[in-house]
Chains A and B, each alone.
Chain A
């Protein structure tokens, strides 16, 4: 997995509440598209008009937000299904960091599995960031430092954020969870041996 340390980019505001995973990538694409093509369909219902052409009003189709690596998001972004394709779609667009007030729980977990940093901050701070982003020019550029847990707007004071230590390490080092857990195989076997005596009905 690609490591995450620092990131400097324009931040694109997408502040609607409850942006669900069916918006981020529609279900029929989950069936037919390969993982590395998923970004072609990112935000499909909003990003394209019914004739297939780009919707000029959609934020990621507008300058300076096209190609932004940071997305400012509203309440409950990524709610809905567990589809990891939603994260693949976003990652495929080049987005590496989401700054929002809350995220769909499963989507949030999926981000870390794909080298994307989701940051939770109070909504008023994100509203301030949105104002900066919309003012355009250099003010729309933010630096995110995962090691220091700081967001540095080009204009304005640095804002600290919290992240679970294990998640921080996972992203900083680009760790593969499976590889790490497999080192605990002995412990897992030990658990199962004892559990088989306590709950034999589990082992069918």
Chain B
């Protein structure tokens, strides 16, 4: 009998084209997603070197970063000329499938990959975007790469990679009312730190994960990179198989039967060795909210802005001081009750149908606080269509939200959609970095229900007081 192996090792081994020694392998890439920033640059670099896309049928292009989510946009201007139009043209030239704005396949790459059945359990998925770890929610081995590596994948269908160490995080217990996958992962990042995952491939396991639906698993894996781990994955199970079944690019017939048999073998064996293991008792977790400029600057909704003077570690103290200076918050302030200007529900973290349903359940029959500008940006055209089919757009609109077109939008502002300097935004996205949502912007990361509750209250608030 072979040695017990981890999920990560099993999927890795199935992709080794060549073992180059010192832990480095040349790995086969099953799915190469390219977008309008790094994808366009990589295709251009390739053309400059007189090289071609080697396996266009395994490459999929979709512009998500720079496209406007304004329903009235005519989709013209510098961003389109620099980023979107060349991606469309170069994709056509290279025979790469291109999911254009308005098509039913269009959306944020990390939403549409799984949605279209392109991302499958056990696949190796790469994209020039750090949140590629999202695809790990289906049991894929997925991580973000830079432009040069994207060009390498385009030209060769492979990636050079050094084996990571293995970390397993076991989320055990029953998730309390009002707590979501977003809260669990933010809690973990707060507890362990933004660099704690460096050098690891993370597997999330435990009873709370098995109970979690597949979209929530994607949310959890999405924030792996905010813990410093570029890979986060969850073994596929019957929930995953049910999720994948019937999707546009998912296998059918005999191939489907063979695939699910294969996928059922892709979980960590009993006795598999991890370099590190952590346990989170999910009963301890309350809704989370970030206060600072790193996802590790996070507290429960019953928490307070920390006082740097109480921090003994000089490095952490400096980091807290800098964050407090930027955020204009006073140490000791309760997060519950901090006034806000904007709300953003969207991004590859939390823009799927289940996220919009959860937020809409809080919003239904209520109104957005007068001074708050609140947006819902569905993650894809399919999410938008499905949400509209069940009337969620009406719920949001009636409450005073803007209901927008799919795209990355206010998560990163690369499409020109930003918040004004000094404004405070409660967001379901993934980063609260300095200037992330625009120069001088302040971001507080939360779950969809917490964002919805903040929009109604005009301040950061505990959604559990509003729900139900």
Most buried by A among B17, B132, B412: B17
Sample 5 A-B pairs with CB under 8 A, ordered by A number.
A104-B198, A105-B229, A181-B158, A185-B156, A202-B58
Q: Which of B26, B146, B194, B316 contacts A76 (CB 8 A)?
A: B194
B17 touches A82 (CB 8 A): no
- Bound-complex Cα distance A31 to B66 (A): 8
Q: Does A11 contact B (CB under 8 A)?
A: no
Interface of chain A: mostly helix, strand, loop or mixed: helix
Q: Does B155 contact A (CB under 8 A)?
A: yes
CB distance from A193 to the nearest CB of B (A): 11
CB distance from B369 to the nearest CB of A (A): 28
B17 touches A187 (CB 8 A): yes
Within 8 A of B (CB), among A62-100: 74-76, 79-84, 87
- Bound-complex Cα distance A81 to B37 (A): 12
B146 touches A16 (CB 8 A): no
A26 touches B230 (CB 8 A): no
- Bound-complex Cα distance A110 to B144 (A): 11
A83 touches B17 (CB 8 A): no
Q: Does A164 contact B (CB under 8 A)?
A: yes
A84 touches B38 (CB 8 A): yes
A30 touches B294 (CB 8 A): no
B157 touches A31 (CB 8 A): no
CB distance from B46 to the nearest CB of A (A): 9
Most buried by A among B37, B199, B318: B37
B129 touches A166 (CB 8 A): no
B28 touches A195 (CB 8 A): yes
Q: Which of A81, A184, A195 contacts B18 (CB 8 A)?
A: A184
Which B residue sits closest to A29, measured CB to CB?
A: B414
Binding stretch for chain B, among A17-25, A131-139, A140-148, A151-159: A17-25
Which A residue sits closest to B195, measured CB to CB?
A: A76
Q: How many chain-B residues does the 8 Å CB contact rule pick out?
A: 80
Binding stretch for chain A, among B85-93, B174-182, B427-435: B427-435
B149 touches A113 (CB 8 A): yes
With A165-B22, A182-B155, A202-B123: A31-B79 Cβ-Cβ less than 8 Å:
yes
- Bound-complex Cα distance A181 to B148 (A): 13
B38 touches A75 (CB 8 A): no
A106 touches B144 (CB 8 A): yes
- Chain A residues within an 8 Å CB radius of B416: 28
- Chain B residues within an 8 Å CB radius of A164: 22-24, 162
- Bound-complex Cα distance A9 to B41 (A): 32
- Bound-complex Cα distance A87 to B146 (A): 10
- Bound-complex Cα distance A41 to B16 (A): 39
- Chain A residues within an 8 Å CB radius of B18: 184, 187
A191 touches B435 (CB 8 A): no
- Chain B residues within an 8 Å CB radius of A184: 17-18, 26, 156, 158
- Chain B residues within an 8 Å CB radius of A202: 30, 58, 120, 123
Q: Hey, which bits of chain B sit against chain A, CB under 8 A?
A: 14, 17-18, 20-24, 26, 28, 30, 37-38, 41, 49, 51, 57-58, 65-66, 78-79, 82-83, 118, 120, 122-123, 128-130, 132, 143-149, 151-152, 155-158, 160, 162, 194-195, 198-199, 225, 228-230, 249-251, 255-256, 258-259, 262, 294, 296, 315-316, 318-319, 322, 412-414, 416, 431, 433-436, 439
A178 touches B156 (CB 8 A): yes
B433 touches A22 (CB 8 A): yes
- Bound-complex Cα distance A81 to B146 (A): 9
With A166-B22, A184-B17, A200-B255: A177-B147 Cβ-Cβ less than 8 Å:
no
- Chain B residues within an 8 Å CB radius of A166: 20-22, 24, 160
A22 touches B258 (CB 8 A): no
- Bound-complex Cα distance A31 to B199 (A): 29
A75 touches B315 (CB 8 A): yes
Known: A17-B195, A20-B294, A181-B26. 19 other contacts (CB 8 A): A16-B322, A22-B434, A23-B433, A23-B434, A23-B435, A28-B413, A31-B37, A31-B83, A79-B195, A80-B225, A81-B130, A82-B132, A83-B146, A105-B228, A164-B22, A166-B22, A181-B155, A181-B158, A204-B249
With A22-B433, A28-B413, A178-B51: A109-B17 Cβ-Cβ less than 8 Å:
no
CB distance from A189 to the nearest CB of B (A): 9
- Bound-complex Cα distance A191 to B18 (A): 9
Q: Which of A32, A84, A182 contacts B146 (CB 8 A)?
A: A84
CB distance from A122 to the nearest CB of B (A): 13
B148 touches A110 (CB 8 A): yes
B148 touches A102 (CB 8 A): no
- Chain A residues within an 8 Å CB radius of B79: 31
B82 touches A31 (CB 8 A): yes
B319 touches A191 (CB 8 A): no
- Chain B residues within an 8 Å CB radius of A123: 315
Q: Does A37 contact B (CB under 8 A)?
A: no
CB distance from A111 to the nearest CB of B (A): 9
CB distance from A100 to the nearest CB of B (A): 11
CB distance from A53 to the nearest CB of B (A): 16
- Bound-complex Cα distance A122 to B51 (A): 41
B198 touches A201 (CB 8 A): no
B17 touches A80 (CB 8 A): no
With A113-B146, A184-B17: A75-B255 Cβ-Cβ less than 8 Å:
no
Q: Does A174 contact B (CB under 8 A)?
A: no
A177 touches B160 (CB 8 A): yes
